[in-house]
Amino acid sequence: MLFNLIKGRNKQIFKEDTERVIVKKFKYVIVGGGTAAYNAVKKIIENDTNEEILVVSQEDTVPYKRPPLSKEIWSNEDPNLLESLEYTDWSGKLSNVHYDPESMYAKSDNIHLIKNKKVVDINLEKKAIQLCHGIWYGYDKCLIATGVRPGNLDSYTAKNDNRITTYRYLDDFKKLYNFVNQGDKHITIIGGSFLASELSCAINLNVGKKKNIKITQVVPEDGVLSVFLPEYLSEYANSQMRNSGIQLRTKQIVTDICESPDSGKLLVKLNEGSESFETDYVIVDVVMVPNSNISKSKNLEIDSTNGGIVVNAELQHRSDIYVAGDVASYYDTLTGQRKRLEQNDHARATGELAGINMSSNRNLPYTYQPSYSSELTPNFIFEGIGNTDAKLKTYSVWEDPNNQSLNTPNNKNKINIFYLNSDNIVVGVVCFRNFGKMNIARDIIYQSKPIENLNELNDLIPFIQFK
């Protein structure tokens, strides 16, 4: 859709040089239309009420939340779900995938959203961005919030088959939802991370039996979420998922996906072709690539280790250029490390901070430790914060110490897991079935104090008591 929501007022055309015509200059330009962009716009409007903001998004929709797409939305049985896009959140509140309805953008005099257009170049000297159809827009301040995209499917023989897909966008959800609702299908999900595991569970739990959907999840590691959780908890997740009917194939590498010459179904080949199975649909969730390629020249510095566009602690790349969300490689003042995170709370918080720094005279540093939550089966629910990399040393505090020695959770155990760095400082926390404790955990991380005796951690986070 071309300039669908751009209005004609104040259209000012001026020539920068013979080749580059800047159609209009905005005080604020946001590249990308996801969570970071949405939250930046909110803060800019608060500080600079009357200024115009241009948001350019490659997607053909207004900003929306991705987390429900692998979780709650699958439990909505409304036959008009694809129109309403509503879901009930963890607190029981009816919510919408879109942050704001399309009508809000149409009514706004300040926010100009261009959908379905990619920004293909940025000129830092002329302070202008170019869209894919050649038009340039000028800016005083620009935020890059382009997120990440799933890696491509080129390594598979059937890479162009529309039954193989990645899963990030609203359109991916709609396509999968329509497919699943045909019923009697075998869906294969490749990957052992949050998205893959949550999606397997959400489809299996909500539509598996009703629509006769069989789910196979192929995981290269020993277990699901084993990159984040201690071994015993990842094993417990495996058993919970298997008990719920998911075919979980751990320690298996997918070497190719092609069309079966016999049945015409997709053939998933494992472990150098020594094993294979047929399936109707494949979702690949293996690798994410930061969308940092928005400049034709080399003028944006890219982090060669973490990927993403480099910013300082104030989320500034260079004067008047800010970066937020999944695509930002930022300096974490607490741990003294350069990081890039793919988390919704991080996208929200960096978007907000970039918006504040862009629209005020403040240059606030990003010191926040974002949190996340995950739900696999109704009984496997946890929240996490900070660095929860399973390679770190972990110390688990069980509500019932008798079960601790067994190292196998039962249906009720609540556990707080502390992640410690080489200086014995708590850098991350997971609270398993122990909700609402992220602020306490955040304070523990902020204290950044070496733990001399691990028993000191036993009583730091109280366990929630259900009535």
Q: Judged by CB, which is closer to ligand FAD: 82, or 406?
A: 82
- Please state the closest distance from residue 135 (CB atom) to ligand FAD, in A: 13
- Please state the closest distance from residue 150 (CB atom) to ligand FAD, in A: 8
CA distances for 22 relative to 12, 26, 139, 335, angstroms: 9, 10, 10, 42
Give the per-residue contact string, 91-130, with ligand FAD (x = CB under 6 A; - = no).
Answer: ---------------------------xx-----------
| CA–CA separation, 414 and 408 (whole Å) | 12
Q: Judged by CB, which is closer to ligand FAD: 283, or 397?
A: 283
Contact range with ligand FAD by CB under 6 A, out of 64-72, 92-100, 216-224, 232-240 = 64-72
Q: Judged by CB, which is closer to ligand FAD: 142, or 460?
A: 142
Q: Judged by CB, which is closer to ligand FAD: 170, or 420?
A: 170
What DSSP element (H or E) covers 148? Answer: strand 148-150
Among 123, 204, 343, 369, binds ligand FAD (CB under 6 A): 343
Question: Binding of ligand FAD at residue 355 (CB under 6 A)?
Answer: no
| CA–CA separation, 345 and 24 (whole Å) | 33
Sheet with 426-432: strands ordered across:
371-375, 381-386, 426-432, 415-420, 393-398
Name the token pair of 425. Answer: 């400082």
Residue 373 burial (CB count, 10 A)? 18
- Please state the closest distance from residue 72 (CB atom) to ligand FAD, in A: 10
Question: Binding of ligand FAD at residue 138 (CB under 6 A)?
Answer: no
Give the DSSP letter of residue 152: P
Residues 6 or more apart from 178 whose CB is under 8 A from it? Answer: 82
- Please state the closest distance from residue 263 (CB atom) to ligand FAD, in A: 30
Among 30, 195, 267, 311, binds ligand FAD (CB under 6 A): 195
Type of residue at 445? I
Q: Do residues 413 and 445 touch, judged by C-beta distance below 8 A?
A: no
| CA–CA separation, 202 and 223 (whole Å) | 18
Residue 385 burial (CB count, 10 A)? 26
387: left (phi over 0), alpha (psi -120 to 50) or beta: beta
Alpha helices in 362-420 (DSSP H): 401-404
- Please state the closest distance from residue 116 (CB atom) to ligand FAD, in A: 9
Q: Do residues 122 and 136 touch, judged by C-beta distance below 8 A?
A: no
Residue 173 burial (CB count, 10 A)? 23
Q: Judged by CB, which is closer to ligand FAD: 284, or 294?
A: 294
| CA–CA separation, 167 and 175 (whole Å) | 10
Give the per-residue contact string, 407-446, with ligand FAD (x = CB under 6 A; - = no).
Answer: ----------------------------------------
Q: Read off φ and ψ for residue 14, nearest 5 degrees.
A: -140, 150
Give the per-residue contact string, 362-401, with ligand FAD (x = CB under 6 A; - = no).
Answer: ----------x-----------------------------
Contact range with ligand FAD by CB under 6 A, out of 52-60, 203-211, 249-257, 431-439 = 52-60
Give the per-residue contact string, 165-184, with ligand FAD (x = CB under 6 A; - = no).
Answer: --xx----------------
Taking every pair of Cα atoms in the chain, the longest distance, rounded to a whole number of angstroms, is: 77
Q: Judged by CB, which is closer to ligand FAD: 325, or 428?
A: 325
Type of residue at 428? G
- Please state the closest distance from residue 269 (CB atom) to ligand FAD, in A: 26
Question: Binding of ligand FAD at residue 158 (CB under 6 A)?
Answer: no
Question: Binding of ligand FAD at residue 58 (CB under 6 A)?
Answer: yes
Contact range with ligand FAD by CB under 6 A, out of 2-10, 85-93, 342-350, 438-446 = 342-350
Question: Binding of ligand FAD at residue 308 (CB under 6 A)?
Answer: no
Q: Judged by CB, which is closer to ligand FAD: 249, or 348?
A: 348
Contact range with ligand FAD by CB under 6 A, out of 43-51, 142-150, 205-213, 409-417 = 142-150
CA distances for 205 relative to 72, 78, 173, 381, angstroms: 11, 16, 16, 14
Question: Binding of ligand FAD at residue 342 (CB under 6 A)?
Answer: yes
DSSP line for 168-194: -SHHHHHHHHHHHTT-SEEEEEE--SH
Q: Which stretches of the chain bind ligand FAD, using CB under 6 A? A: 31-37, 56-59, 66-67, 69-70, 118-119, 145-147, 167-168, 195, 291, 294, 325-326, 342-345, 347, 372
